[in-house]
A and B are shown apart, each in its own frame.
Chain A
Amino acid sequence: MKQVIVHPERCVGCMQCMTACATAHSTSKTLIGALLEEPRPAPRIHVGAGLEDEGFPNRCRHCDPAPCQLGCLPGAIYRAKGSNTVMVDYDLCINCASCAMACPYGVIRFAEDPKAPPGKTVAVKCDNCVERQAQGKVPACVETCFAGALTFEEPSEAMKRRTGEVAASISLDAAAHRVPLSASWDLQSEMKRRQKALDQR
């Protein structure tokens, strides 16, 4: 089954996935429309800054077993049948935040949601864009990521590719064969690293 796979080395930190995610979880499904809605839809993916201010798209891993599900007192968190997606039942959720405390990745937030009872704050998290997938679309964050930091594919395919990359990197003359992922991005990242290094002087 296809899953969203994160490739942190390609994240350029543009945060477009966050806007696309919020829009996908709005009623209108358009950015401008979403901005006018009440409640305003919240993103389920969050881009953070690493030690060198490089971007990292932080999203739900849909763990199995899922600590959030184990920690959920009213039993609002469940795994959708026939998929690996961990979901929240907004009617059962009591906004106690036990799931957020249990989550090792900090990807569960609390907000009103168009799909929740009006005025009720609930746990919101990545639902793998079940709605879009039912329409034959890929998750919104993947669709908007032009840098290829988020892909939607069979995990076995991604793992095979990764295995190949790692194997190539330990070949005897790997350095000589190394093709940079992107000369542009390498240059930009190097300059940022040098800037950041000055902070410690």
Chain B
Amino acid sequence: MGANGNGHKKGEFSITQDAQAMLVKAERDQVETVWDRFQAQQPSCGFCETGLSCRICAMGPCRIDPFGEGPQKGVCGADADIMVARNLARMIAAGAASHSDHGRDLVETLTAVAEGKAEGYGIADPDKLQALAAEWGVEVEGKDELALAGALAYAMEEDYGMRKKALQYVTRAPAKRQEIWAGLGITPRGIDRETSEMMHRTHMGVDNNWVTILLQGLRNSLADGWGGSMIATDVSDVLFGTPQPHASQANLGVLKEDHVNIAVHGHNPVVSGTVLQSVEKEELVAAAREAGAAGINLVGLCCTGNELLMRAGVPQAGNHLMTELILVTGALDMMIADYQCIMPSLGEVAGCYHTRMISTSDKAQFPRFDHREFHPETAQATADQLVRDAIEAFKNRNPDKVNIPVEPMDQTTGFSIEAILGALGGTPEPLLDAIKDGTIRGAVGVVGCNNPKIKHDYAHVTLMRRLIENDILVVDTGCAAVASAKAGFKNAAAKEWAGPGLRKICDAVGIPPVLHLGSCVDNVRILTLLSALANALGVDISDLPVAGSAPEWYSEKAVAIGAYFVASGVTTHLGPMPPVAGSMNVVGLLTQGLEEHVGATFAVEPDPEKAAVILMKHIEAKRAALGLDSREVGEAADTAAPATPAAPVA
């Protein structure tokens, strides 16, 4: 179809070998992919691209002409600044709502565990439970583990409401950062409250000052980063274990031709964690053998894949744009999805093969999926039955349609903050020393999605390569983390790509140059780490030689993440342009004006070679401001290096 069949080279769409091979097979199998649909959408609507369309109320919908001759105001009178600000703010609200609702499901599971109503779940990290209870001011005395879990869950529920003046985790931020938030009036008060208020303010006739709309956008994002997402990560660690480094693998080669292959897709470990327990059950493995398989092979996709990878080393099959292509292997027997980033096209792709498609969340259903709802009380039994069904599906697999295109790439993963500090000997001092003496110039968190607007994984891989070869430590999460694992950046041999300083640290500590911090909610691990570093130096986060980047972002969640990074003092690069060009005032505030208020800004640059230069210049400038040595950074060459780095020498 479309883009596949129109004489396009597969290399235009992805730099990864497995994607390229599966795009060829998809064309042969007449499977429509996200790239076909992207092409069919061109040209995309310029009013929407620039944020100059509004369908908030029924006096409209309205458009503003970017050329200045047509209408310059919506029916209500909103000008371009108001319209763009409202649209962007609502993207932040949706992103914050998504992460925070994910966190809510974990708090509810923690409550169910405490009440003894969640068979198959338990307290995997009692130490973290104790530490969190102390941090949240929960009375520890006289409580057993389950009672403590219940009391912690109750305290967290309060952060979702309107009883508090500030969220609990705000106190994790450096004092200077808390003062900045208080000064701007953007200290987040309640997780759901800020999202509600954002929707209220952007209703017709409420907040019509584009600056204060955007300030509430920042507060809403902080309620995600220092609220919903942070709760999600911490409760996941309590329930499923705080990640520790271990070896695993990545790419479509993690599928096994002779095994029952099950993939978990989505975000919440509440589902995938239970499936992991089921596939290890002896009677189910025996059933798989009876069906003619050598065993059961569980693999991850997207962020729930990252959750399992971080904690249990479950191999990572692919990121966002690989979720259709894994079906094209013909080797996947079942895909179990929860929510977020699950393309509604998947059921149709699976229709070309034998793959059973399962939805599990009461809030997320998809065409041509079987809906098998997970609840804490019955999760284990549901997961067991799904594994049995996957074994049945394996019997229907057509060997003629199977193509597992590559060998898996080795990776090391599992770098929670606890694990990183552990590797450093329990204190951030060695890392700070390396930054101070210039061995490492700084650090960049490369995060976020894939987007068919950017050649798949090209921007992630190119940017990370440039950063590590310039002695910048990279931490990654989400789809970016899958891209770098597939490119071999988390392989033992990857330090060869690092600059001399970073390589020295990799050798000394025994880490790869790119550290995997987890899923997209786990971006909060970056906030926690930066707060610890800033506190150790007695400075604010915005003083540190660090930056963020989302080179291939697509989702509203990424907008919320970008906003809480910037509001927390981390200058953040975006690859694709957000829908703000319609207001040069909004563009100016986001890319320059915010510096004066929060000490950080956004920068937009689709080309990762140029983005690397922007980030390096930023880091060197921060070093100079701290009184550390600072280097000149040259401009990016006009002709970029080849997209795919040479295979690492293992």
By a beta-carbon cutoff of 8 Å, the part of chain A in contact with chain B is 10-15, 47-50, 53-56, 145-148, 181-185, 187-188, 191-192, 194-195, 197-201
Which residue of chain A has its CB nearest to the CB of B39? A49
A191: contacting residue among B45, B581, B640, CB under 8 A = B581
28 pairs, A vs B, C-beta closer than 8 Å: A12-B46, A12-B47, A12-B49, A12-B50, A12-B66, A13-B43, A13-B44, A48-B43, A54-B43, A146-B65, A146-B71, A147-B65, A147-B70, A148-B69, A184-B66, A184-B80, A184-B581, A184-B583, A187-B584, A188-B577, A192-B577, A195-B575, A195-B576, A197-B607, A198-B454, A198-B459, A199-B455, A201-B640
A53 close to B43 (CB less than 8 A): yes
Smallest CB-CB A-B distances: 8 pairs: A12-B46, A13-B43, A146-B70, A49-B42, A55-B43, A191-B577, A188-B581, A194-B606
Number of B positions contacting A (CB below 8 A): 41
The answer to whether the Cβ of B225 comes within 8 Å of any Cβ in the partner chain is no
The answer to whether the Cβ of B587 comes within 8 Å of any Cβ in the partner chain is yes
Interface SS, A side: mixed
Which residue of chain A has its CB nearest to the CB of B642? A201
B66 close to A182 (CB less than 8 A): yes
> In the complex where A198-B454, A201-B455 touch, is A184 in contact with B582 (Cβ < 8 A)?
yes
> In the complex where A49-B42, A198-B458 touch, is A185 in contact with B12 (Cβ < 8 A)?
no
Given contacts A12-B47, A187-B584, 9 further A-B contacts (CB under 8 A): A14-B46, A14-B47, A14-B63, A49-B42, A146-B70, A188-B66, A188-B577, A198-B459, A201-B643
Nearest CB of chain B from residue A171's CB, rounded to whole Å: 22
Interface SS, B side: loop
Which residue of chain A has its CB nearest to the CB of B68? A182
By a beta-carbon cutoff of 8 Å, the part of chain B in contact with chain A is 12, 42-50, 52, 63-71, 80, 453-455, 458-459, 575-577, 581-584, 587, 604-607, 640, 642-643
A147 close to B604 (CB less than 8 A): no
> In the complex where A10-B67, A147-B67, A201-B640 touch, is A49 in contact with B43 (Cβ < 8 A)?
yes
B64: chain A residues within 8 A (beta carbon)? 146
A184 close to B70 (CB less than 8 A): no
User: Residue among B12, B46, B70, B607 with the most chain A CB within 10 A?
Assistant: B46
> In the complex where A198-B455, A198-B458, A198-B606 touch, is A188 in contact with B46 (Cβ < 8 A)?
yes
B640: chain A residues within 8 A (beta carbon)? 201
Nearest CB of chain B from residue A40's CB, rounded to whole Å: 19
Which residue of chain A has its CB nearest to the CB of B451? A195
> In the complex where A148-B69, A198-B454 touch, is A13 in contact with B606 (Cβ < 8 A)?
no
A194 close to B66 (CB less than 8 A): no
Nearest CB of chain B from residue A60's CB, rounded to whole Å: 20
Nearest CB of chain A from residue B45's CB, rounded to whole Å: 4
Nearest CB of chain B from residue A48's CB, rounded to whole Å: 8
A12: chain B residues within 8 A (beta carbon)? 45-47, 49-50, 66
B607: chain A residues within 8 A (beta carbon)? 194, 197-198
B584 close to A184 (CB less than 8 A): yes
Nearest CB of chain B from residue A13's CB, rounded to whole Å: 3
B67: contacting residue among A55, A148, A201, CB under 8 A = A148
Nearest CB of chain B from residue A191's CB, rounded to whole Å: 4
B584: contacting residue among A50, A54, A146, A183, CB under 8 A = A183
Question: What separation, in Å, do the CA atoms of A143 and B650 have in the docked complex?
Answer: 64
Which residue of chain A has its CB nearest to the CB of B576? A195
B458 close to A201 (CB less than 8 A): yes
Question: What separation, in Å, do the CA atoms of A182 and B50 have in the docked complex?
Answer: 12
Question: What separation, in Å, do the CA atoms of A61 and B42 have in the docked complex?
Answer: 23
Which residue of chain A has its CB nearest to the CB of B52? A184
B45 close to A13 (CB less than 8 A): yes
A53: chain B residues within 8 A (beta carbon)? 42-44
Question: What separation, in Å, do the CA atoms of A199 and B581 have in the docked complex?
Answer: 23
Nearest CB of chain A from residue B52's CB, rounded to whole Å: 8
Question: What separation, in Å, do the CA atoms of A112 and B407 have in the docked complex?
Answer: 54
B455 close to A185 (CB less than 8 A): no
Question: What separation, in Å, do the CA atoms of A52 and B624 have in the docked complex?
Answer: 40
A198: chain B residues within 8 A (beta carbon)? 454-455, 458-459, 606-607
Which residue of chain B has its CB nearest to the CB of A199? B12
User: Residue among A10, A47, A50 with the most chain B CB within 10 A?
Assistant: A10
Question: What separation, in Å, do the CA atoms of A160 and B256 have in the docked complex?
Answer: 69
Question: What separation, in Å, do the CA atoms of A178 and B328 have in the docked complex?
Answer: 51
B604: contacting residue among A146, A185, A191, CB under 8 A = A191
B67 close to A185 (CB less than 8 A): yes
Question: What separation, in Å, do the CA atoms of A184 and B577 have in the docked complex?
Answer: 12
User: Residue among B12, B42, B455, B607 with the most chain A CB within 10 A?
Assistant: B42
